[in-house]
Structure 1
Amino acid sequence: MRIPKLASLFLLLACLVAYATYVKWHTDGMKPALSKPPYHHSRTDSDDDHKRTSPDVSSDRFQYGIMFDAGSTGTRIHIFKFLIEENEAPKLSHETFKAIKPGLSAYVDDPDECRDGIQELLEVAKGTVPAPLWNSTPLVLKATAGLRLLPGEKATHLLNKVREVFGESPFLSRGDSVSIMDGTDEGISAWITINFLIGGLHGADRTTLGMLDLGGGSTQITFSPQDEKTIQTSPFDYITSIQMFNTTHTLYSHSYLGLGLMSARFAILGGVEGSPLEGSRELVSPCLAPDFTDNWEHAEVEYTVKGQKAGEPIYESCLKKVEKVLYRKVKKAEEAKDMNFYAFSYYYDRAVDIGAIDEKNGGAIKVNDYIEAAEKECNSMEEASPKQPFLCLDLTYISLLLQELGFPKDKVLKLARKINDVETSWALGATFHYMESLSRH
């Protein structure tokens, strides 16, 4: 009886060794493609020559990702080109970008009308991605504040129309390819983008920067806290953790829906988001020149906007109105004043308007520069009608918003539209995340 028992024991041990070997091999094979830090390759191609590739690199070593950014004021396509090398993570080689107006929310009452714009951008993708790679190139659309502000049923009809158009395209489209992006995810994805481009996620230094974004319908702030007090004292839903390139990052991130520049402008003019005015659609504000009258459209509704006679200087009157709109709506992030931040979108555009930065190359601006420009612009309207009637309002809002977020007047913010020729939006970070999810399934 001893011989059969020994044989059984050896057989059991052999099975255990074989199983362990299989599990290790299978686990290694399932590691996500983006587990190693990608290296950003700065291209030297000109903006007009965006389809050119290096002659010594074969096309079968490239992988593409297509991300649609459906914002409140327009729809943008980002086509990312990655270089694939054996046993390495993808390297970002190139980005193609195009934007069209208006945003998807403009077609809320007639979703079929959005088809032409989506098709126009898909043609850009077809002209950028080599045809043999079309069916393996993920196609994604993420809608932001413009659709988050719409009633659920109307937003669903719009997104279903986009899914229909995507399904007719030759690109890889899945059930989760079209969705409304959570505001916090938008901020986190933009933070990933900027820190990837500067090397903060995978460079030798690994020092990350904070991110400020001011869109039309919402605004975001995201940074990696260095002070444990920030983590302990912040609202629980402001703190999150992400894993990126084998490193866990704890982030302070929040999106303020309804505090994007166009939504805030509407509120400062006296409107209520989601509740069109009954009867007269006339908006009167101290932030406009006293003799100013014009038409202004918001959320597909046209309003008559007018300035009002003020008993005090326009800037002081406007500031009081903006303070009421922002009252208790923004939480101050104390640690933010000690960290370096990049600011995007309307922060950038209005800095260009006042001549604080170069339109193409960006630059840096102090919070106080916005304050001084607001005061100058507002008070100059008492003598003459301005060329940009909303600039006083916009600058006053931006300057106060930054202070409410915790930035002192002498705080310097970096402003950029592109870094290494890549758009500084959330699109690249979201594309990394989506492609990693595909590799896991």
Structure 2
Amino acid sequence: MKKPKLAGAFILACCLLAYLMFVKRHYAAAPHAAFRLPPHVPPASQPGGPATRGRFQYGIMFDAGSTGTRIHVFQFQLEQNEAPKLAHETFKAIKPGLSAYADDPDKCTAGILELLAVARDSVPLHLWSSTPLVLRATAGLRLLPGQKATQLLDRVRALFTESPFLSRNDSVSIMDGTDEGISAWITINFLTGGLHGADSPTVGMLDLGGGSTQITFRPQDEKTIQTSPVDHISSFRMFNNTHTLYSHSYLGLGLMSARLAVLGGTEGQTAGGSSELVSPCLAPLYVGQWEHGDVVYTVRGQKAGEPVYESCRTKVEKVLYKKVTRAAEAENVDFYAFSYYYDRAVDLGAIEGEKGGSIKVSDYIDAAKRVCGGVSVSPAQSPFLCLDLTYISVLLQELGFSPDKHFKLARTINEVETSWALGATFHYIESLHSHM
């Protein structure tokens, strides 16, 4: 009698094993489940692992800028009824930007795959399918003809779909300029503590990229909200609080696009059929080459004897005429300034390259006068430094800032890069929750 019992037990064990293998294959082959993580509540711990493993969530953000593509892999620690804490960031950048592949989208594949490999190395395998993967393109793609931008994004979208991460229809897109400003505002105020409570003081954000520039701050006076252009006021909900912001992006007024306009060129084409540009913002008799938007320009200074700074400032003022709105109340708000505001301050020696610091509008004005007047700042001084500094100083005044206004300059806070990427990742995860 023992043999039939043993045979029956063996058959039962085989059936159970076959069933378990079927279930495993079924779930492995099923599509990724929609990302679902209750706001600020730690998910259940992973079986067989330490309890702290389940308290972390990841987000992957690709920043497709005009000069390069950067990946940010954020690790968030989640606590019940509290805003998430940033536990770690992995960062890598590659050049050139996606827009450089506008005529051959397939050539962007290698760079995107290189950055996806960084994501695989940074996110635990068991969390791949629940980690949102997002790419947001900025001014570089906004300035491309629509079809070329679409083809580039379609190629990236295909690569994201093939990846093991959570990718949806809205995972790859061109970021609206206002959203870029709001996302950067979220980043800086998350890092400085401004989002940790409804009454926490916040700071404003100024960003000067290559193709666009943004200004964002939270008004304290209701009159500012009522009298500002309708499209300059935005409201959103974040960490259980509603924030109303003044935020606007000026496409075409980023430093590289503005440089082209001041030199007399036109975005997307050569000036009057010629690639030679003559400008009062360059040193007299200077001749050189400058590449922008896949066009190599020959640039020349005007003849000697003309006042360089005054002529350059007049040209910049014409380029900015009636293109910028003065932001009411901005003068009274504490601001952080990023990107080319930071880089040109480093060029002047006003701040250290790694530590940052602070600067006044008048510092940019005085430096522009000094550089345009022929006083060298460094042996490797850019021939465009006079133009860039004049543009920055005029732009800040057009935005409503007095020469005495101070700005804080920082590339990182608590070792986290002060870009829009962190804020955009928070914003995306919140949107996933709201659509559940």
TM-score category, normalised to shorter length: 0.7 to 0.9
Question: Structure 1 residues 77-86 or 97-106, which shifts more?
Answer: 77-86
Consecutive unaligned residues in structure 2, runs of 5 or more: 1-34, 43-48
Candidates 242, 256, 278, aligned match of 1:284: 278
Work out the CA distance in 1 between the residues paired with 2:123 and 2:207: 29
1:203-246 superposed Cα distances (whole Å, 9 cap, x missing partner): 59600111100000000000111112211211111112111222
How has the CA–CA distance of structure 1 residues 382 and 143 changed in structure 2, closer, same or farther, with 3 Å as cutoff? Answer: closer
Greater Cα offset, 306-315 or 330-339: 306-315
1:34 corresponds to 2:28: no
Q: Aligned partners of 1:369 and 1:264: how far apart in 2?
A: 20
Residue 198 (str. 1) matches residue 203 (str. 2): no
**Separation (CA, whole Å) in 1 of partners of 2:58 and 2:139:** 26
Normalising by the residue count of structure 2, what TM-score does the alignment of the two structures yield?
0.86
Q: Return the match for 1:300 from 294, 299, 307.
A: 294
- Rounded to whole Å, the distance in 1 between the matches of 2:274 and 2:81 is 65
1:415 is aligned, of 409, 420, 425, to 409
Alpha-carbon distance in structure 1 between the residues aligned to 2:76 and 2:376: 54
AA aligned to 1:295 is: Q
Give the Cα separation in 2 of the matches to 1:343 and 1:372: 18
CA RMSD for the aligned pairs? 2.3
Question: Aligned residue for 2:12?
Answer: none
Q: Is the 8 A contact 1:33 1:436 kept in 2?
A: no
Question: Pairwise mapping of residues 286-365 of structure 1 onto structure 2 (< 5 A)?
Answer: 286-309=280-303, 311-365=305-359
Match of 2:370 among 372, 376, 379: 376
Task: Return the alpha-carbon distance in structure 2 between the equivalents of residues 340 and 382 of structure 1.
Answer: 32
1:108-147 Cα deviation digits (max 9, x unpaired): 0010111111111111111211222222211000001111
Match in the other structure for 1:121: 115
Q: Distance in 1 between matches of 2:313 and 2:240?
A: 46
Alignment-derived partner of residue 64 in structure 2: 70
The aligned residue for residue 153 of structure 1 is: 147
Q: Counterpart of 1:423 in structure 2: which amino acid?
A: E
Structure 1 residues 267 and 371: alpha-carbon distance in aligned structure 2, compared to 1, 3 A threshold: same
Letter in 1 for 2:104: D
Q: How far did 1:300 drift? A: 1.2
1:326 alignment partner AA: L
Q: Report the counterpart of residue 137 of structure 1 in structure 2.
A: 131
Alignment of 1:271 onto 2:265: yes
Which AA in structure 2 matches 1:275?
Q
Q: CA deviation at 1:290?
A: 1.4
State the SS of the aligned residue for 1:259.
Answer: coil
Q: For 2:282 and 2:379, how far apart are their aligned partners in 1?
A: 9
Amino acid of the residue matched to residue 295 of structure 2? V
| 2:97 pairs with 1:92 | no
Post-superposition shift, 1:279?
3.6
Deviation at 1:384, TM superposition (A): 11
Aligned mate of 2:250, from 238, 252, 256: 256
Are 1:169 and 2:163 an aligned pair? yes
The 8 Å contact of residues 289 and 385 in structure 1, kept in 2 or not, is answered as no
SS of 1:380's equivalent in the other structure is coil
- 8 Å Cα contact 2:77-2:86 kept in structure 1: yes
Relative to the length of structure 1, the TM-score reads: 0.85
1:393 aligns to 2:387 (yes or no) = yes
The aligned counterpart of 1:12 is: none
CA distance in 1, matches of 2:241, 2:80: 22
Q: Which amino acid aligns with 1:33?
A: P
* 1:2-13 equivalent positions in 2, closer than 5 A: none
Deviation at 1:412, TM superposition (A): 0.3
Contact 1:367 1:409 in 2 (8 A): yes
Could you tell me the percent identity over the aligned residues?
Answer: 72
* Conservation of the 8 A alpha-carbon contact between 2:185 and 2:205: yes
Give yes or no for contact 2:238–2:430 (8 Å, CA) kept in 1: no
- Matched residue, 1:366: 360
